[in-house]
Amino acid sequence: MRAAVIQFPGSNCDRDMAVALDQVAGNAQTRIVWHKETSLPEGLDLVAIPGGFSFGDYLRCGAIAARSPIARAIVDFANRGGYVLGVCNGFQVLTETGLLPGALLRNAGLKYICKTVPLQVETTDSAFSAGYEAKQRINIPIAHHDGNYTADAQTVARLQAEDRVALTYLDNPNGSVADIAGVLSENRRVLGMMPHPERIADPALGGTDGAALFRALANRMAPA
Amino acid sequence: MKARVQVMLKQGVLDPQGEAVRHALETLGFDGVESVRQGKVIELELAETDAGKAEATVTDMCEKLLANTVIESYAVEIA
């Protein structure tokens, strides 16, 4: 698998994401790509947009990053069928680019929440979630102030009907509509999720519930 | 030419910050505040001198960046 991690000013999970891809997915060549680049490295399978506070969350979380030079290349890559994973701020960026529907609002309780939360895997029909069992319960940390997923009722019904809700919260921490913690694009190759699988993908980090996501990606892609 | 953009969460989108402000006002003894909605104001200084063109340009800016029309509505004022 050939992967790249995008780095914006204010990204802070870029290195963790690259380590997870390198160690868990067995990819020794994860590239870090700066936001001012106008193109992605050739031959990529996966682009990962990491967590953090890109551009200080100015205007709206992810809004400025979604208009940065590299964002256009990411949208083109996704439209050509490339795989894109957005975690936390990366999920916010993906909704701001329009690659994923909906938006992420301030948490209903107004507090920044940093804790490990129980989730349910809602679909195994994607390169990201194929390594889990249907309806498997997993524990993954969240760390966000703006993770309250919202979309109009029609969009939520469509996501559910098309089996595009990837993950739900078992104990909704932020007010997200229909307990949604992660959603897939129509072609199932773009995943946005608020929980951080890269933070729980190594026993030394206290758990490995996130590792199956990276292993499943590696299994789906050709070896680098 | 100056432009003033007001961005608000759409009606129907829950505004937890507005609700927290309403609650704080109540704590301070301001009774009868039934609802608070919080938004933002963006001021722009433009080289454009034609008000119609300025409004069209700023509207385009709102659609592309200043507002997220999934959750926000906007109003443009040219002065």
CATH of the domain at A100: 3.40.50.880
Higher pLDDT, A183 or A23: A183
Cβ neighbors of A202 (< 8 A, separation 6 or more) are A20, A23, A24, A208, A211
Hey, is B56 helix, strand or coil?
helix
- Report the number of distinct structural domains present in chain B: 1
Residue A144 a catalytic site member = no
Phi-psi region of A175 (alpha: psi -120 to 50; beta: other; left: phi over 0): left
Are A67 and B64 a contacting pair at CB < 8 A? yes
Cβ neighbors of B25 (< 8 A, separation 6 or more) are B33, B36
Mean pLDDT of A96-111: 96
A212 — pLDDT class (breaks 50, 70, 90): very high
pLDDT (tens digit, 9 = 90+) per residue, A172-194?
999 999 999 999 999 999 999 99
Q: Please count the other Cβ atoms lying within 10 Å of the Cβ belonging to residue A57.
A: 18
Q: Which residues of B touch A151 (CB under 8 A)?
A: 70
Q: Which residues of B touch A105 (CB under 8 A)?
A: 9, 13-14, 16, 71
The yes-or-no verdict on residue A224 having pLDDT over 70 is: no
Query: What is the domain range of residue A216?
Result: 3-220
Instruction: Closest CB to B16: pick one of A59, A102, A108.
Output: A108
Contact, A54 vs A65, CB < 8 A? yes
The yes-or-no verdict on residue A27 having pLDDT over 90 is: no
Hey, is B31 helix, strand or coil?
coil
| Gap between the Cα atoms of A168 and A148, Å rounded | 12
Mean pLDDT of A43-65: 96
Amino acid at A131: G
The residue from A61, A88, A96, A122 that is catalytic is A88
- Report the number of distinct structural domains present in chain A: 1
From the CA of B52, how many Å to the nearest CA of chain A? 26
Hey, is B27 helix, strand or coil?
helix
Per residue, the 3-state secondary structure of chain A, as one string, reads: CCEEEEECCCECCHHHHHHHHHHCCCCCCCEEEECCCCCCCCCCCEEEECCECHHHHCCCCCCCHHHCHHHHHHHHHHHCCCEEEEECHHHHHHHHHCCCCCEEECCCCCCCEEEEEEEEECCCCCCCCCCCCCCCEEEEEEEECCCEEECCHHHHHHHHHCCCEEEEECCCCCCCHHHEEEEECCCCCEEEECCCHHHHCEHHHCECCCHHHHHHHHHHCCCC
Amino acid at B68: N
Torsion of CA A11, A12, A13, A19, to 10 degrees: 110
The yes-or-no verdict on residue A151 having pLDDT over 90 is: yes
Query: What is the domain range of residue B71?
Result: 2-78
The yes-or-no verdict on residue B16 having pLDDT over 90 is: no
Q: Which of B9, B14, B61 to mutate to test the interface with A (most CBs of A within 10 A)?
A: B14
Give the domain CATH number at B49: 3.30.1280.10
Instruction: Closest CB to B71: pick one of A103, A107, A108.
Output: A103
The yes-or-no verdict on residue A222 having pLDDT over 80 is: no
Q: What is the ipTM of this complex?
A: 0.88
pTM > 0.90: yes or no: yes
Residue A145 a catalytic site member = no
